[in-house]
Amino acid sequence: MSLFPIFVKLEGRLVVVIGGGSVAEGKIPSVLSAGARVRLVAPSVTPQIAEWVRLGKIDWLPKEFEAADLNGAFLVIAATSAPGVNEAVFREAEARGLLCNAVDDIEHCHFYYGAVVQRGDLQIAISTNGNSPALAQRLRKELELELGPEYEVWVQWLGAAREALRARGPSSETTKKLLHVLASRPMFQEFLQSQSAAGPPRSRVTGRVYLIGAGLGDPELLTLKAARLLQQADVVLHDSLVSRDVLARISTRAEVIDVGKRCGRKLLTQDEINALLVSYAASRQVVVRLKGGDPSIFGRAGEELEALRKASVEFEVVPGVTAALGAAAAAGISLTDRRVASQVLLSTFSRGLDANAMDWGCLTPATTLVLYMPGPDYAEVARRLAEAGLAADLPCVIVSGASGSQQQVRWSSVGALSAQEELPAPALMIVGRVAAQQIREIGEAFWRSGPNAPASRPVSVS
């Protein structure tokens, strides 16, 4: 079935959303940005939706769906996790002659959300008729790179030229042909050259890029500056490990783009991310690159900063709580306990071609080694640590999901690592004498019983 593509004016019109979960949360910002009035019907809502209600951005009816909830609606979105409810909403909307979108339910949709590329008044919406939203997203990302911010200025110029021609009198074939010539690629190249010679156009904004550390997932661990900038952001490019709670702190008017890597799956290459940062800085005032932990620790911030410098884009780094500090806090230990440790080494456990380049042979008994991204094979980690000269009874602690609701802390030793069950990512290991402090203070009873009893006792650190 062929679709009819249209762009709808929602300014001041009522959009009714059924559902108060994460699905509904993801659909609301786009209709708010179009100026719509939003009525939401759901027994409960997410914290972000509750915040929009508090700010008066949407109206919330805290109850189950009833047919009367669609009174006065212009558009309807069914976004519950119950297929039966979504279908009932669709049937009622259809009976009233209202267009309805039941999220992820092709049979009960009058329209689909497209993947949209926007450059000011220029909008390109991509649809696959529900066959492959993933393809639509990929094409959108490619077009984002191809169509730079200069198109926003050019479209404004074309609009002014069109109005000037129309003011001369009724439209004619000559006028139409002239408008097509003005919109041609050769004219676009001439326009760019003229703008370059005249300097940046007044309507073009020179933005600033902020590389912000999102910490470990707890939004209360964000710095005040980071929280403020997330509310001021025009566009946010975030990693996959940034928690939903932190993402909920982003302004609803901001464009939010996931550019992360998860389990080896890359949404964009690093060069593409660099290009997006430079591109957005030319058209947006506040561009945020949101990274898990601290942006300067294993986050490839150096490559992004270099790209911004080469493009003469202003930037600022806003530090965050890195995983090493969050894991130490979760374990209740000090990485530099002066009684047993005098230095800290932050490292990753690489399985790539440069794996042997990591010089763990420089470790001393007074070094605390913090291993980011240890991976699932603890036996391999133990072997590498042993090859670096670390004793089998040297204590270590594994922390998974530090600061989050699923946080886990497991105590062990280098020799006992291979027998440990893998903890969910993101996880981190702390290896060294400091990892024995908490265990020793708990007492001998901890070692004789309990579900978390380590496979071996820690060495004495006295």
List, by residue number, the catalytic residues: 239, 261
The region, left, alpha or beta by phi > 0 then psi within -120 to 50, assigned to residue 290 is beta
Structure tokens at 88: 């009932």
Q: What is the 3-state secondary structure (H, E, C) of 317-358?
A: EECCCCHHHHHHHHHCCCCCCCCCCCEEEEEECCCCCCHHHC
The amino acid sitting at 427 is A
In whole angstroms, what is the distance from residue 329 CA to residue 159 CA? 57
Chain centroid offset of residue 310 CA = 25
Residue 86 near residue 106 (C-beta atoms within 8 A): no
231-242 in b/e burial notation, b at 16+ Cβ within 10 A?
eebbbbbbbebb
| Contact between residue 58 and residue 52 where contact means Cβ atoms under 8 Å apart | yes
d(CA 42, CA 19): 5
Using DSSP bridges, classify how beta strands 265-266 and 115-119 pair: parallel, antiparallel or unpaired: unpaired
In the β-sheet with 286-291, what is the strand arrangement from edge to edge?
255-258, 235-238, 286-291, 208-213, 314-318
What the block records as the tokens of 25 is 């949360």
**Any idea what the Cα angle at residue 246 is, between residues 212 and 223, rounded to 5°?**
50
Residue type, 216: L
Q: Distance between CA atoms of 326 and 413, rounded to whole angstroms?
A: 20
59-61/75-78 β-pairing: unpaired
Give the integer Cα–Cα distance in Å for 349 and 3: 50
8 Å CB contact between 331 and 357: no
